[in-house]
Structure 1
Amino acid sequence: MPSALRSLTLAAAVCAGAFAAPLAHAQAESYPNHPIRIIVPFTAGGIVDSIARLVGDKLSARYGQPVIVENKAGAGGSIGTDVASKAPADGYTLLCVSPGHTVAPSLMKSVSWNPVQDFRAVQGFGVISNVFVVHPDLPVKNMTELIALAKKSPSPLTYGTAGNGTSNHLSGELLGQMADIKLTQVPYKGQPDAMSDLLAGRISMMPLTAALASGHIKTGKLRPLAVTTARRSPALPDVPTVAEAANLPGYEVGTWFGLVTQAKVPDAIVRKLSADITEIMQMPDVKAKFATLGLDPNPQGPAEFDSFIAGEFSKWSRVIKQAGIVPQ
């Protein structure tokens, strides 16, 4: 390349860089100047939907702009996620995510998006614990005894789930791999159906959300063994973690929630959203609502939540492959 042309190209690049930063700053200063949409890749009425509407209402009040929640359910959340991945990179389309965001690509051939490459994190909200519970007739009182029983049992113990790829399923799969025991998943249409069979003694155990399990634990109809998250659940503070109870360091499964957006949304807009949502999460009524949902708040900014999502994607890709689960 001639030196004159090379100098011209370099000058153009420098000018482009010089204008990019002020432009991004100006975009953030005027953001938002029209409605924002939050895509929920599930039907209305669930926990993901409830969180999205709670945060959306607070953002709308703060920004003076409508924040519209759009439910685009189907294919385990992948339909709504696909729509969000193809949205303009302007920060006006957000996606409320949960564990399926990092699991679906390993379970479904039809998924065309990548949770790490096609999205960037805005804010992590926190996690809901699952708790391994058993029917009182099962002769175990803690996780160590459960593992010992599973190792000597002539047939695998059964555990109920709300379906393939759910946090219930992953909780049991990871326990089986880390403790080197055989467990058989029994998938149901939802947690309530599985819980009914557990209460009737038709299955051995279930990783059930702490909110659903606590009432039956108090009445003695279910026995808690351990929670699946890295720290104890505020709803069940006396129940140890699996890592504690079974001496399995690194065991961690939770139903986490957060917001992401298209991968090329400018940094300044993402930082603005994250800072505002962090403040929203400190509001007393928001904390109270999170508590009723069983959510243990853990605000994560963009960098931390991005790292978390990448770690979850890598972990579950490995676990699913090791389990021999073939994408459908």
Structure 2
Amino acid sequence: MSSRRQWIQWAGLGAASLGVMGRAWAGPFPEKPIKMIVPYPAGGGADQWARIVAGKAEKLLGQPIVMDYKPGASTTIGADAAAKAPADGYTVHLIDSTAFAYVPNMRKVSYDPLKAFTPLVHLGDLPFVLVAHPSVPVRNLQELIAFAKANPNKLNCASAGVGSPHHLIAEIFKQRAGISMNHVPYKGAAQYIADLLGGQVDLAVSTLGPAMPHIQTGRMRPLAVSSGKRSSTMPDVPTIAEQGFEGFDEKPWNCFVTNAGVPAEALERLRSAFRATMDDPEVLQALRKTGVEEVGRMPLAQISEQMRLDNLKWGDVIRRAKITMDS
């Protein structure tokens, strides 16, 4: 009887230590691997973030998380596939502003950007960096502007696709600076990084992770970061705002979502696992090393509303700037 009583006490302590998370995980879900749709090619920033998070979340869920790369059409191929997947919790999607705020304001998409998905957790804010090939004779934004005005349409600026954050940040900067540059869209970071290193393009607006190793070796020259504050991973690189563009603060954000209509048990288990993952110090450190700021800070209740507000904000920007999918 005494041993039985001790066992009950031990079990009670174990259950208490698991807390709400443990109760949310009770039940059969998941019973098979989970697919994570990444709307960019392997090797870029999105791939890094997805793998960092999936590596921890799959241990908590007890099932593998398998990467499913669906690049193209400015991330909407991936978003469309995610929206059409069965609403059973076995599809997770890494979504960014492109799919819910940018492209839907440029052309019709096959999914409702504000109703097709249910948020799981905020990934973080993503400062971008404007980088140049060393052959371009500029070291800061003022020199870039002077060179671009003296050589109209000579410079080529790469992005991860028409309507991507990379593209729109470059467009806003060009408008405010009063310069023209040729836009060269790619499917993702791996492709534009390769061409920038090879000198096929002059400049790129990039997420920090893919660009940092080449900045450190001198094969790319950083000119400015897009956020209002300097990046913690590139503290020596000034912001666009610091270089004469007051108020410039563009740092698009990503989040992990699943389909709308996923059963409550599966949804809560996914949310518990992804929330615990984003709270893990090792995951936090790994994401910060790739340039992600404010990791997981946006409350779950705020994500859907922020998606709606961003859709309105960027719709206004895009219409005023007359940016189209052919830009």
Task: Bin the TM-score by the shorter chain.
Answer: 0.7 to 0.9
Question: 1:189: how far off?
Answer: 5.6
Residue in structure 1 matching 2:161, options 160, 163, 170 = 163
Determine if the alignment matches structure 1 residue 260 to structure 2 residue 257: yes
Q: Any unmatched runs of 5+ in structure 2?
A: 1-22
Distance 1:229 1:273, change over 3 A: farther
Q: 270, 280, 283: which is aligned to 2:280? A: 283
Provide the C-alpha distance between the structure 2 equivalents of 1:287 and 1:271, rounded to a whole number of angstroms. 22
Return closer, same or farther for 1:75/1:224 CA change in 2, 3 Å cut-off.
closer
**TM-score, length-scaled by structure 2:** 0.73
Give the deviation of 1:40 after TM superposition: 0.7
Shift of 1:291: 4.2
Aligned with 2:53 (options 55, 58, 65): 55
TM-superposed deviation, 1:98: 2.8
Tell me the CA shift for residue 237 of structure 1. Answer: 0.9
CA distance in 2, matches of 1:166, 1:268: 34
Hey, what does 1:40 align to over in structure 2?
37
| Aligned position for 1:73 | 70
Distance apart, 1:123 and its partner CA: 0.8
Query: How far, CA to CA, are the matches of 2:210 and 2:114 in structure 1?
Result: 32
1:173 aligns with 2:174: no
Residue 153 of structure 1: which of 150, 154, 172 is its match? 150
State which drifts further: 232-241 or 96-105. Answer: 96-105
Q: Which residue of 1 aligns with 2:240?
A: 242
Q: Against the structure 1 CA distance between its residues 236 and 327, is the aligned structure 2 distance closer, same or farther, given a 3 Å change threshold?
A: closer
Larger deviation: 198-207 or 292-301? 198-207
The residue that corresponds to 1:20 in the other structure is none
Cα deviation per residue 1:237-268 (whole Å; 9 max; x = unaligned)?
A: 111222232323143044x4321122344778
**Structure 2 residue 300 is matched with structure 1 residue 302:** yes
Cα deviation for residue 227 of structure 1 reads 0.6
Identity %: 34
Q: Per-residue deviation at 1:234?
A: 2.4
> Whole-Å Cα distance in 1 between the matches of residues 132 and 72 of structure 2?
31
Change (3 A) 1:60 1:78: same
Distance 1:284 1:207, change over 3 A: same
* 1:226 and 2:224 aligned: yes
Give the Cα–Cα distance (whole angstroms) in 1 for the partners of residues 190 and 48 of structure 2.
Answer: 19
Farther off after superposition, 42-51 or 89-98: 42-51
* Structure 1: runs of 5+ lacking an equivalent: 1-25
How far apart, in 2, do the equivalents of 1:277 and 1:92 lie? Answer: 14
Are 2:113 and 1:115 equivalent residues in the alignment? yes
Q: CA deviation at 1:198?
A: 4.5
Residues 282/27 of structure 1: CA separation in 2 closer, same or farther (3 Å cut): closer
Distance 1:32 1:196, change over 3 A: closer
Question: Post-superposition shift, 1:124?
Answer: 1.2
* Distance verdict in 2 for CA 1:279–1:182, change over 3 Å: same
Query: TM-score, normalising length from structure 1?
Result: 0.73
Q: Which amino acid aligns with 1:104?
A: V
Q: Counterpart of 1:94? A: 92
